Chains A and B, each alone.
Chain A
Amino acid sequence: MSTILEVRNLKKHYPIRKGFFGKQVGSVKAVDGITLSVEKGETLAVVGESGCGKSTTGRAILRLIEPTEGEIAFNGTDVRSLNPEQLRRFRTDMQMVFQDPYASLDPRWTVQRILEEPLRTHAQAGGGELQAKVEQLMEVVGLSPYQAHRFPHEFSGGQRQRIGIARALALNPKFIVCDEPVSALDVSIQAQVLNLMQDLQEQYGLTYMFISHDLSVVKFISDRVAVMYLGRMVELAPTKELFARPLHPYTQALMSAVPSPVPGQKKERIVLTGDVPNPETPPAGCAFHPRCPYAMDRCRSEAPVLRELDSGHQVSCHLY
């Protein structure tokens, strides 16, 4: 397999300004040094709780949010060095599927127009070709072409998400960031959309970065999982490996929170104490140490680095 995306030391800090002259008094470290690589054709899931920087990471990779620091290489192209016009053209390769299917489609546009937008923007089709392409896109995601002249509010949540997926596919991208694409949907619809996404991945050889907080969804769809905590990555491993042998204490706690599908089965639940610290003033050393049951002196002073232990299992913890 070849690497399609390489991210090195990606950071996004939001300045906190105070006073009349807007003096910077600190910064919120939403993403604080993420390093990862994505292989062609795989699904890399990024999990973590609310506010840990998963979505910011996805958006920073697409430069929808301008990263503060770090390198992003996509198929050898240095994404951060692209000027606005180059970036605009480059967007055909990287697309995004959004979380909220009710907010991600312009309420005043018909489906036809929504799906035409990417094609027109990059002049990939015109005239009758445009119509044919829109119909084809709708069929690919399981919608009927006769619905093309309807408005988004005439569709259900699942159908809207299909429209969102069709829009992302319109430009034949190689890589799609999926920002919690099913968390706004009913459980019954989630499976349909996930299956669709898997089929499309096979059909078009897509690579997904799948942002989610739902571990059962992640287990189903992803090949590898990256666990994030407070803007940093704490563990990265193949899905099976991670679910079978979570190494980082945070991952272990996270895994123990997954409900068991077997009724009556007792599971040991690790309950973390305390809250997620303020990303404005992350704890010194390991960001997780105030809540970690295994915290040692070293954890309070020295930040652990992500190290590969074995067979692609990376963890950032002093225990190993």
Chain B
Amino acid sequence: MSTAAQTAQGVPPKPAAPSKPTTLWSLLLHNRLAAVGLAFILLWTVIALIAPWIAPYDPYATDMANKLQPPSAGHWFGTDNFGRDILSRVLYGARISIWTGLIAVAISFFIGVPLGGIAAYYGGRTGTVIMRVMDVLLSFPSLVLSMAIAASIGAGLSSAMIAVGVVGIPEFARLMFGQTVSLREKEYVEASRAIGVKDSVILYRHILPNALAPLLVQATLGMGFAILTASSLSFLGLGVKPPIAEWGAMISEGREYIISGQWWLVTFPGLSIATSILGFNLLGDGFRDVLDPRLRSGK
């Protein structure tokens, strides 16, 4: 009977012990891909935090006598064209990439979410103007737009963060817009209005917490996107300036040596970008899978 009832609701019957409380966390860890993603993220986060202690060399110390050395026991990832240790540079690069991702996503989140919420809650002309501007931003390819923004503020780490952050705003705004449009009609929101709660308080205390789940998914996926775009900007010379150890910039510097056979200059930073983005994307997908059935069942 319980099986029939469950299927009727569109929830597949679960053979696992039903008495065990299923938290978001345990569901997430049961999702193998999400767990792998989380492992990658944790790995890179820890590396970013302890890079100065685990890096075997100074990432900026040049050693022209040992330039372009292939991976060896002394230099696990080899050395670059200035003789700098690539392993150390990759480890330090994690700091910049994770930091860029966090700041950029924070910019997108803290500007996009209020804009979307306000546009949906008040509607009318204000809402239309806000959302049309978001549509305009969305209509540009993200890399082209971030290049344009980064170029107009001038190359540098902070302008790359701002550029990537601005490009991410419309995604958050649209997501929050959709959430707010449906939550605004809920009776508990009306009840708060009947009590005389201020609109800003309703948005912050009732609508935002109930809209948070999909926003978290977007933030996780956005981290991957931000790291990739920031690296692309650095590769194109619009991000961090050359001596700084940043994955995109390292690939850019090392790309001319691929032809002459020194593959390690680009491979290791490339792998770092790939694994960190993969980590965020897998975790984001896992988040979405875990949260979706609940959203559909109206919880």
Contact surface of A with B, Cβ cutoff 8 Å: 59, 62, 64, 87-92, 95-96, 98-100, 103-108, 117-118, 121-122, 164, 167, 171
Contact in complex: A103, B198 (CB < 8 Å): no
Which of A91, A104, A121 meets B188, CB within 8 Å?
Answer: A104
Other than the given A96-B190, A99-B187, A121-B197, 20 more pairs (CB < 8 A) read A62-B194, A64-B190, A64-B193, A91-B194, A91-B196, A98-B191, A103-B186, A104-B187, A104-B190, A104-B191, A105-B188, A106-B188, A108-B210, A118-B195, A118-B196, A121-B195, A122-B196, A164-B191, A167-B191, A171-B195
Residues from chain B with a CB closer than 8 A to the CB of A107 are: 210, 299
Beta-carbon nearest neighbor of B190 in chain A:
A64
Interface assignment of B6: CB less than 8 Å from any CB of chain A: no
Contact in complex: A117, B193 (CB < 8 Å): no
Secondary structure at the B interface, as helix, strand, loop or mixed, is: helix
Could you tell me the distance between the alpha carbons of A171 and B197 in the complex, rounded to whole angstroms?
Answer: 13
Interface assignment of B15: CB less than 8 Å from any CB of chain A: no
Residues from chain A with a CB closer than 8 A to the CB of B192 are: 117
Give B272 Cβ to nearest chain A Cβ, in Å.
38
Residues of chain B in range 82-103 having any CB-CB distance to chain A below 8 Å: none
Beta-carbon nearest neighbor of A170 in chain B:
B195
Could you tell me the distance between the alpha carbons of A108 and B191 in the complex, rounded to whole angstroms?
Answer: 15
Beta-carbon nearest neighbor of B210 in chain A:
A108
Contact in complex: B206, A106 (CB < 8 Å): yes
Residues of chain B in range 39-96 having any CB-CB distance to chain A below 8 Å: none
Contact in complex: A103, B196 (CB < 8 Å): no
Which of B194, B197, B299 meets A96, CB within 8 Å?
Answer: B194
Residues from chain B with a CB closer than 8 A to the CB of A122 are: 196
Could you tell me the distance between the alpha carbons of A75 and B2 in the complex, rounded to whole angstroms?
Answer: 55
Beta-carbon nearest neighbor of A104 in chain B:
B187
Interface assignment of B209: CB less than 8 Å from any CB of chain A: yes
Which of B194, B198, B201, B210 meets A95, CB within 8 Å?
Answer: B194
Residues from chain A with a CB closer than 8 A to the CB of B193 are: 64
Q: A99-B187, A104-B187, A108-B210 are in contact. Are A91 and B299 (CB under 8 A)?
A: no
| Interface size of B in residues (CB-CB distance below 8 Å) | 17
Contact in complex: A121, B186 (CB < 8 Å): no
Q: A106-B210, A108-B209 are in contact. Are A117 and B195 (CB under 8 A)?
A: yes
Beta-carbon nearest neighbor of B206 in chain A:
A106
Give A198 Cβ to nearest chain B Cβ, in Å.
22
Interface centre among B187, B193, B195, B299 (most CB of A within 10 A): B195
Give B256 Cβ to nearest chain A Cβ, in Å.
54
Could you tell me the distance between the alpha carbons of A107 and B210 in the complex, rounded to whole angstroms?
Answer: 8
Could you tell me the distance between the alpha carbons of A285 and B197 in the complex, rounded to whole angstroms?
Answer: 42
Contact in complex: A88, B196 (CB < 8 Å): yes
Residues from chain A with a CB closer than 8 A to the CB of B186 are: 103
Contact in complex: A98, B190 (CB < 8 Å): yes
Contact in complex: A100, B187 (CB < 8 Å): yes
Q: A106-B206, A106-B210, A108-B210 are in contact. Are A92 and B187 (CB under 8 A)?
A: no
Residues from chain A with a CB closer than 8 A to the CB of B206 are: 106
12 residue pairs bridging A and B, Cβ less than 8 Å apart: A98-B190, A103-B187, A104-B188, A104-B191, A106-B206, A107-B210, A108-B210, A117-B195, A118-B195, A118-B196, A122-B196, A167-B191
Q: A89-B196, A103-B186 are in contact. Are A96 and B210 (CB under 8 A)?
A: no
